[in-house]
Amino acid sequence: MKVFLTKGIVSTMAAAWIAMAAIPLGAQASGSDLAYPDVSESHYASQEIAKLKQQGIVTAENDGSFHPDDAITRGDAAVWLSKALHLNKPKALNGFLDITEKSPYVDAVNALKEHAIVEGNNGMYEPDSFLTREQMASLLVRAFQLKDNGIQAWLKDEAQIGKWHHDDVVKLKQNFITDQITYMPQDLVTRAQLVLFLSRTLAQKEIATSGETSLDDFLRLPDRAVMRLSPDSQTLAYLHPSDNNRMNIYIQKLGETASKQITNVKDEYISKIFWITNNVLVYVVDTGGTENTHLRALQIDGSSDKDLTPFPNVKADLLDVIPSKNESDIDILVTMNKRDPKIMDVYRINLLTGQLSVQETNPGNIAFYLTDNYGHIRAALAKDGEKKTLLYREEETKPFDQIATFDRKDTFAPVMFSFDNKQLFAVSDVGRDKQALVVYDPILKKETEIIDMNDQYDVDDFLVSYATESILAVSYEGDDIQTNYLDAGFERVAGVISSLLKTTQWKILGSVDKENFLVYSNDDTSYGSYYYYSRKGHSLHKIADINPYLDATKMADMQPISFKSRDGLLIHGYLTLPKGLPPSKLPVVVHPHGGPWARDSWGFDLDVQLLASQGYAVLQLNYRGSTGYGKEFLHAGDKEWGRNMQNDITDGVNWLIKRGTADPERIAIYGASYGGYATLAGLAFTPDLYAAGVDVVGPSNLFTFLNTMAPYWELSRPEMYQEVGDPVKDKARLEAASPLLHADQIKAPLMIAQGVNDPRVNKAESDQMVAAMRQLDVDVPYMLKQGEGHGFYKPENERDFYQALIQFLNKYVKNKKTKSTETAN
């Protein structure tokens, strides 16, 4: 069938593809709002035509009608594009031989040429020729400077795209301007189609500045981060953006404003900073997201920067610092899997020379070593299958004795030696449901004292004074951090700090025994700030905000929530509502945390605040299997991936729908790591619940996931089999819980993001999910980033991801046509 148009012939198939991909930009246009008499309310582009007419971008034909299904000429396209870009009158009008000064296109075409948007052919522009779809792609990409964001685009007719336009067509897909699998590059573009593509491009470019806070402000690197105070309390070390837009270490004398950059990392990611002496720092770097961390040492003047663990494909971590009177004699203890990638040996390294020697050879089953107060290795935890064994020795030169064995479900974690080096302080839930801070006597081989515990929550942290040889305080995390003070003197100090900060949500960084120390405080609307507290006069001086570019008054409040699951378990979480919008029928993003043996916490969350600024309510849930709520709750998640753990998330969504907060037709799920798995599981196992899903580095097949764990997790494999499932014994359960094996059940649009070097969730987990969906003729935007691992850390990659995230969610969730607004195309 041919459709004869005023200015040409256009494929009805192309028109149909465009219509199906139409993006609503607001309420349906009513009959009285129609832009042109020949554009009916039911036309797939009626809203967009009306909007661009109102903005003065599109115009009618000579007869006053729009002729939406006529092919558009290159000349008319140039006029619309120049108006959309608000281009000034060109300096010259002789850019093309076939565009005279009397041509109605002369200003537009020459303005586009001055901005390198159009080139022409042999000096000709051919304004009366019709625009093809591949030509349109190049116009839009050049005009709006659309970039390659790493999304792996899929086009069935890719071979038919001209080489000059190929990359531009791909960029349209990468930027969600089109989602067609078959692009039909040589087909002519109708006037309505160009309106749609132009409108989408304008909407996508507005994302960076939409909302109360711009995307650029959200994604600016922190001004000060990981701040630490030197042993003499005179110098600050912290991370700050350098000229290459990477976080580097800076040094600043306390009380001064001048600072000095002392590292110059480019591809590395600095995760930790340790003061060793007043003049020497050790810092931890990860290259390319591999998690093969290296320890480097340097002087505070930036000299002698040395890689202490210069071994490829080796993971190193700081265990302890050996006390010494002379700085030149200081050694550190480091754990490394240099000899065997599956286990960590302990090495002794001299900070000055870098000389390395083996301090402790792992017999093959030790997962954790503990030093006493003099740096001697005197305790360890071994793993043999599901059994955990506490090892102890009175002297470092003696062999370890087996002191106690613990059940798989029990937590016993020795955290430090007592002040007399004779007993162990440990976090333990042996014989109870909640983890308590206890004293364990290795000679009597039993727990002798409960220092502190809470009947609702596990121990979160504790504060030690070596000066008074006492535990000053123990904290627990419920809806927020709760602290139990065990020392009256420190409780008075804490009361002063809380009064000055007007909050109890703060912690001390470094030693509390100093006359002066650092305090960090944060809340749900800011990254927080660093303060300098002086005991003398009880003064608190603000040093810096971590991210001063964000206005806390524009951020949304994170509210604790709870509900009962379908089987009666109390589930806690947090709900963040977009600021300034009625809390009813909102688009929602369910954001399950990773781990899964972790938890969401009250405090500032970039993802949450960014989504809230875009008009989404955000639901975070500490589903069963999350930490902090006791042993029973933690192990209620064993072998419940895709089952009751997922049911808790589903129950949370239904709770939000029932209370009227959520629009049931506009709910997305987005998470990373286990949260990515929960996204895939949500789309596959509750396909009618979600409008879209975004999976970041999530496992898709539990068999392949368990088969590709990082080598240094090998000792935990038996635990993983008990907590996730045994590939042999639990084959049917793992098959039922693997989203990849149920890809045909997924109905909602899915986006996936993955780092190439991810050691935790192998790239193949994402590859195979994308391949399975494409075999079903379903396209999946797949953002793949080189030089990244289990998440994106480079600012340019973070920006690509969050821009795409908002584009994707806005297209398929927030601006989704619902049953109440849908009309036939």
572 annotated active-site: no
Report DSSP letters for 345-376, one per residue.
EEEEEETTT--EEEEE---S-EEEEEE-TTS-
Terminal C-alpha separation, the chain? 19
Catalytic hit among 673, 700, 738, 766? 673
d(C-alpha 230, C-alpha 203), whole Å: 49
Active-site residue (options: 475, 565, 790, 800): 790
Q: Give the count of beta carbons closer than 10 Å to the beta carbon of residue 132.
A: 19
For residue 785, give both structure tokens: 């980033």
Contacts 24+ apart (CB under 8 A), 212-217: 212/551, 212/554, 212/579, 212/580, 212/613, 213/550, 213/551, 213/554, 213/555, 213/609, 213/613, 215/610, 215/799, 215/802, 215/803, 215/806, 217/549, 217/550
Of 179, 524, 600, 758, which is the active-site residue? 758
Count of CA atoms in the C-beta half-sphere (13 A) of 376: 15
Please tell me whether residue 36 adopts helix, strand or coil conformation: coil
Could you tell me which residues are beta bridge partners of residue 447? 440
Q: How far apart (Å, rounded) are the C-alpha atoms in residues 174 and 657?
A: 32
DSSP state of 327: G
Residues 396, 382: Cα–Cα separation, whole Å: 17
Distance CA 230, CA 618 (A): 40
DSSP per residue over 112-124, as a string? HHHTTS---BTTB
Nearest to 68 by CA among 80, 79, 76, 60: 60
Distance CA 429, CA 326 (A): 42
How many whole angstroms separate alpha carbon 529 and alpha carbon 517? 14
Cβ count within 10 A of residue 267: 12
Is-catalytic flag, 758?
yes
Q: Give the residue among 23, 18, 16 at the shortest CA–CA distance from 812.
A: 23
Which residues, in sequence order, are CB contacts of 246 under 8 Å at separation 6+?
265, 266, 795
Rounded to whole angstroms, the Cα distance separating 561 from 266 reads: 42
Q: Which residues are catalytic?
A: 673, 758, 790
